[in-house]
Amino acid sequence: MEERVLIEVDLDRREAVRRPLPEAWRRLGGRALTSAVVAEQVDPRCHPLSAANLLVIAPGLLAGTGLSSANRLSAGAKSPLTGGIKESNCGGVAGYKLGRLGVAAVLLRGRLRGGPLPAGLRIGREGVSFLDLSELAGRPIYESAERLLARYGRKAGLILAGPAGEIRLAAACLSVNDPEGEPCRNLGRGGLGAVLGAKGLKAIVIEEEGGQVPVADREKLKEAIRRFAACLREHPVTGEKFARYGTCMTLLTVNGLGGLPTRNFREGVFEGAEAIGAESLYQTIRGRGGRWAHGCMPGCVIRCSNKYVDPRGEPVVGSLDYETICLLGSNLGLSDLDQIASLNRLCNEVGVDTMETGVALGVLAEGGLFRFGDYGAARGLIEEIGRGSPLGRLLGSGAAACARAYGVERVPVVKGQGMAAYDPRAIKGMGLTYAFSPMGADHTAGNAITLSVDHLDPEAQLEPVRRLHARTMVLDWLGLCLFTGRVSLAQPRLIEEMLEAVRGWKVGFEELEALGWQMLGREREFNRRAGFAEAADRLPGFMLAEKLPPGGPVFDIREEVQARFYDPWKPAGGN
C-alpha cells in the first residue's frame, strides 16, 4: 500500500516539502495526529500567535475512501482562545480531498515574513505552491470562497480565514466549503482562524480529481462501505431522523430537560423553544423551498445538514444547526429563525465561531451593553467585528474577554472557551465534558446528551462520560462523524473492518479506546505544561451555587467523583 505523506510548510523560508509520514505517526489521523504533533513539537509556553506555534491540518484516518460520514477534517494548534491545546474538526469537502491525495497532514511552521500578504497555499497532485491572495485581504468569507472557486475550479476544497482571522481574533474560525461550494462548515472553536492569520495565510486550496486514495484492500473497503452505509440507513436516527430534523432534533429534548441555555445561562427553559425547534425549522425550510437531508460531506448517508432560505427562497446560510440556534437564539432571547439564520450568516462572513460569539453576546447583554431579545443590536455588534472596531475586537476575543471588560461575573466558560448549548446543571454529564476536556468547554469531546442516563443524576455520569471521551477520540482520529456513533460505537466491529480495509491495521476496538484515552492524557499533559493545574478542570463557580430555573438544579457532581475523571483507564465491556 502506498503510504500517506506529510506536507511540511516552512513559512519563514516560503518552502514546502512533501515527505513520508514518520513511522511514529503512521497509524494516526485527525485529532490523534494533530494533537500528537502539537504535543511533540509546540512549546506549550509559546504565544499562540507567534511563529513558534504550529497549525496542523489532518483529515481522519479513513478520509477520502468513500466510507460514509468519514471525511471529517481536524485542525490543531495551541489555542489563542484557551492557551491550551486545541483540535477542532468539521465536515465539508477539504478532508475528503486531502484524504484522496494521500495527505495525512499539512504542518504550517513559522510565518510569512515578506511578499504580498495574505498569501495562500495550493495543494494538489503536482505539489504545493504559494498563492498571492492580497486582493482578498479583509474580504469576507463567502466572497473570498467564490473568487477562489472561480479561479481554481468549483471542485476545489477550501480552508480559509475571514476578516476576524486576519486580525487574529481569538474567536476566529476556519471555514471549509461544502459540496455546493458554500464555505459554511467551520473549524469553529478555539481561534484557529487567528493562527492561520498570524502565519500570513488567508486560505488553503486543495485540488484533486480523478485519482485514487491509497488503501490497503480495495475489495474489503467496498464491502465495508456497503455494510456501514446499510447499517446507518437502517438505524432510525441516522437513517431518517437526522435527515429530516438535523442537529436541531435535540432542541426540544434539551428544553424539556430544563437545560437549554437561555439569556446567558440564566434559565434552562426558553419560552420560544417551539419556534426555534426542529419541526419549526423543518417546516420553514420545506415551505420555502430550501434544502434538508443535505450531506455536508461527499457520500454521507446521514445527511443532517440543511440550507436555510429566506421567505423568498433566497439562500441565507448553509446548515442552521442546533448549537448556533441556541447560542445565537435562546441564549440571546431570540426566537425568530430568520433572525438567528442572519446572525449565523454574518458570523460565517466575518469568520468567527457562532458558538463563542453567541456566548460572548450573552455575556455582553448581561453586562448591560444591549437588551436580550434585541436582534438589531446583536447584529450590529457582529458587524463591528468585521470592521475591526474596538468593540468588534472585544467581541471577537470571546466570552471571557467580554466578561472582563463589562465586569460580568456569570461567565459560562471553561479554560476561557464558551460553553456549548447544554446547561451543565441540567445535563450534568455535559458538565464533566466541559470541565475535563483539554479543549475547554467543548461538547463534541464527549457529547453526553447522547448517553442513555438520567442527565440530572450526579452519580450516573462519570464512567459513561469517561468512556465517551475515549470513544470520541477514536471517532475524531478516524474522521468519523460523531453522528455515526449510534451505529459505529454500538457495533464497533464496523470500525475494526474499516481500519483493516483502509489501513491494513488489525486492531480491536477496546485497544483503540485505550489508545484514545492515552491520547487524551497527552493533550492534558500539554495543558499542564502550558500552565493549567488540575483546578482548571472545573466549571465556573456560579454553576455550583446558582439554581437554574425553572427546575432549580445546580451542578452537583461531587468533587471526589470529579477528581476521578482522569483515573487510569480500565478496559470494560458494554457501554
Task: List residues binding a second copy (CB under 8 A).
Answer: 43-50, 52, 80, 167-170, 194, 197-198, 389-391, 393-394, 396-397, 401, 404-411, 528-536, 538, 540-542, 545
Q: Least CB distance from residue 537 to a second copy, whole Å?
A: 8
Is 49 or 478 the residue whose CB approaches a second copy more closely?
49
CA nearest to 425, candidates 255, 540, 253, 259: 259
CB of 83 to a second copy, least distance (A): 10
| CB of 32 vs a second copy, minimal distance in Å | 24
Nearer Cβ to a second copy (259/540): 540
**Among 88, 171, 447, 483, which residue's Cα sits nearest to residue 296?**
483
| Phi, psi (rounded to 5 degrees) for 218 | -65, -35
Q: Which is nearer to a second copy, 296 or 403 (CB)?
A: 403
Task: Choose between 358 and 367: whose C-beta lies nearer to a second copy.
Answer: 367
CB 424 within 8 A of CB 91: no
Distance in angstroms (rounded) separating the CA atoms of residues 427 and 263? 17
Distance spanning both ends of the chain, measured CA to CA: 35
User: Counting beta carbons within 10 angstroms of the beta carbon of residue 545, is it exposed (0 to 12), middle (13 to 18) or buried (19 or more)?
Assistant: exposed
CB of 167 to a second copy, least distance (A): 6
Give the Cβ contact number of residue 149 at 10 Å: 18
Question: Residues 352, 173: contact at Cβ < 8 Å?
Answer: yes
- Parallel, antiparallel, or unpaired for β 174-176 and 127-132? unpaired
The DSSP code sequence of 64-104 is TSS-TT---EEEEEE-TTTSSEEEEEE-SSHHHHHHHTTEE
Residue closer to a second copy by CB (options 405, 561) is: 405
Q: Which is nearer to a second copy, 78 or 469 (CB)?
A: 78
Nearer to a second copy, 25 or 555 (CB): 555
CB of 360 to a second copy, least distance (A): 12
How do strand 157-161 and strand 201-206 relate by DSSP bridges?
Answer: antiparallel
CA 517, chain centre distance (Å): 20
* Residue with Cβ nearer a second copy (171 or 248): 171
Three state DSSP letters for 554-568: CCCCCHHHHCCCCCC
Supply the minimum distance, in Å, between the C-beta of residue 33 and a second copy: 24
Cα 468 to Cα 436: distance, rounded to the nearest angstrom: 12
Q: Alpha-carbon distance 208 to 468, whole Å?
A: 35
Q: How far is the CB of 389 from a second copy (least distance, A)?
A: 8
Residues 6+ apart with CB under 8 A from 463: none
